[in-house]
Structure 1
Amino acid sequence: MQHHIALSTIFEMLEVAGRADLKMDLLQELERQRQTLMSFRSNPNVLPEMLDAVLNELDQTSEALKGMQGRTGQHIRENEWLMSIRGRTIIPGGACEFDLPSYYAWQHHPAEKRYADILSWFSPLAPLFDAIGIVLRLLRETGHPVKISAENGSYQQMLQGKSYQMLRITLNEQLGAIPEISANKYMLWIRYTSQGGDLKPKAFEGEVPFELTLCNF
C-alpha cells in the first residue's frame, strides 16, 4: 500500500512539474537569492561560515537543476508501463489485479526491489524538488514569529497594503482549534473552529494563543 501511494505521489508530482516555465523560474529565484546573500558578506553580524554554506548549497542546487535534460519527468512519460498504471489509477478501482496484472505482480516483489524502482523513477525529479525545498526554506526563514491571542477564536490584522508570500501559524494541537484563513493585501482574518462528535465545524469558544509568522522575500 505504501509503495502504491508513493507511485501515485510521483504521478501527482509529474502534473505539477510539467510546467515548462517552472525550471527557469526556479533558476532565476535561486540566482536572485544568491545575489541577495552575497550582499551580506560585508555585514559583521553575519557568520561567514554559515553564509558560505548556504551559498554553496544554492550553487550545487542550481547546477543540478541546469543538468536536468529535456522536459521534466520525460523519463516517466516514456515508460509505457508506468503510463498504463497512471491511466488506470485515476479511475476508481482501476488498479485492481484483474485490470493491471503486471502491476499486481510488481506489488508482490520484495520491498527492497520496489523501493529501488521507485527511487530510480523519482531520482531524475530530485533536483527540481531540491530547488523548491531550498527556496521555501529561505522564504520561511524571512519571517519572525509573533505571539498572538485570538479572542473568541477570531483574529484580524490590517496589512497596510503590504504583500506577503507566505503565512505560518503555530499553535498547540491539543487545543483542538482549526484555523481558517482569509487574506488580501489589506487585511488578514483568522477564524478558529472546532469539531464536535459529528465532525461538523463550529466556532471555537474561548481564547486561542498562537504564533503568527509573515514571510516575504
Structure 2
Amino acid sequence: MDKIIFEHPLNEKMRTWLRIEFLLKQLNLHSHFDQNNALLFFHSLSELLEIIERNDVKSELIKEIETQKNKLLSWANIDGVDQVLLNNLISQFDEYLVKFNSVMRLGQALKDDRFITAIRQRLMIPGGCCSFDLPSFYLWLEQLQEKRDKQVQNWLQHLTVLDEALSCCMQMIRQMGEFKPFVYNSNFFQETSGEFNLIRIRVSLDKNVYPQVSGHMSRYSIRFIPLEASENTITEALEFELACC
C-alpha cells in the first residue's frame, strides 16, 4: 500500500533547514535548463540566498555537526557497532567542519555576482525578466548550452558544502525517529513528549488526507483534513504512523 510522509518542523531552525533542503533539491533538479525554463533555477537560487542572508545557517549547522559527531563518538565503545561506518561518518563531519571554517559567509560569491544580482532584482517584479528588462540575461540564454552549464556548475560549487552537510545532518536526524502506529479519532490527536526538532507523519495515500499540525517542541497537536473541499471532518478512525526526531 502506497504511503506518503509529511514532515513538520517544531522549531525555527528546522523550519529553515527544511526550506533550504527543498530549494537545494530544486536547484539541482533545474540546473540543466534552456531558454524556456531558466527562471525555475534562478527563482530557487534567489530564494535560497534570501534565506541564507536572513538566518545564521552556518553557525547552526556547525553546532549540529558537532552534536552529531559527539553522539557518534559516544557509540565507539558499544559492542556490535560498525566501526568502519562510524569512523567514516566522524571523518566526514570533520571534513565539513574544516570546509565551513574556511568559508567566511555562505553563498557570498553568489550574492556578489553582478549577473545574478541583476536577475534577483527583476524577479521581484511580475514579468520583470522580459528581454527588454534584462537584455544581458536574454543574450546569456542564447550562449552555447555547454558554456551555460559550466557557469551554473561553478555557481553551485559555492553551495556544495551546505548541500552535503545539510543532507548528512538531515539524514541523521530522520534516522533518530522510529515510526510508531497510532489511531486518529474524534478529529484531534495531541502528544506531549521530550524536545524534538521534527515530526514525521506517515499515512496511506488512499485515505486522501493531509495533516494540519500546530504546537512546538514539547507539545503538538495533529488534525487530519480531507483533500476534497466538500469535506472538512473525518468521521471514522484513521490509522497513521508517527516518528519524532
- Interval of TM-score (by shorter of Structure 1 and Structure 2): 0.7 to 0.9
Cα separation, 1, equivalents of 2:141 and 2:157: 20
Q: Which residue of 2 aligns with 1:212?
A: 242
TM-score (norm 2): 0.76
**Cα distance, 1:155 vs structure 2:** 4.1
CA gap of 1:57–1:2, structure 2 versus 1, over 3 A, is: farther
Q: Which residue of 1 aligns with 2:178?
A: 144
Q: Which of the pair has the greater relative contact order for Cα pairs under 8 Å at 6+ separation?
A: 2
Q: Which of residues 94, 103, 109 is equivalent to 2:143? A: 109
Cα separation, 1, equivalents of 2:66 and 2:218: 30
> Does structure 2 retain, via aligned residues, the 8 Å contact 1:10–1:122?
no
Q: Which residue of 2 aligns with 1:99?
A: 133
Q: Which of residues 76, 85, 110 is equivalent to 2:119? A: 85
CA gap of 1:185–1:87, structure 2 versus 1, over 3 A, is: closer
C-alpha RMSD over aligned residues:
2.2
CA gap of 1:20–1:213, structure 2 versus 1, over 3 A, is: closer
> Does structure 2 retain, via aligned residues, the 8 Å contact 1:85–1:100?
yes
Q: Which residue of 2 aligns with 1:22?
A: 57
Count of residues in correspondence between the two structures? 210
CA gap of 1:210–1:64, structure 2 versus 1, over 3 A, is: same
Cα separation, 2, equivalents of 1:64 and 1:123: 12
Please list the CA deviations of residues 16-69 of structure 1 after superposition, one character each: whole Å capped at 9, or x if unmatched. 22257432232232122212211111100321122122112212222222222x
> Does structure 1 retain, via aligned residues, the 8 Å contact 2:188–2:223?
yes
Letter in 2 for 1:159: T
> Does structure 2 retain, via aligned residues, the 8 Å contact 1:23–1:65?
yes
Letter in 1 for 2:97: S
CA gap of 1:147–1:111, structure 2 versus 1, over 3 A, is: farther
> Secondary structure at the residue paired with 2:91?
helix
**Cα distance, 1:108 vs structure 2:** 3.3
Q: Which residue of 1 aligns with 2:30?
A: none
**Cα distance, 1:88 vs structure 2:** 0.3
> Secondary structure at the residue paired with 1:144?
coil
Cα separation, 1, equivalents of 2:150 and 2:233: 47
> Does structure 2 retain, via aligned residues, the 8 Å contact 1:177–1:208?
no
Cα separation, 2, equivalents of 1:62 and 1:123: 17
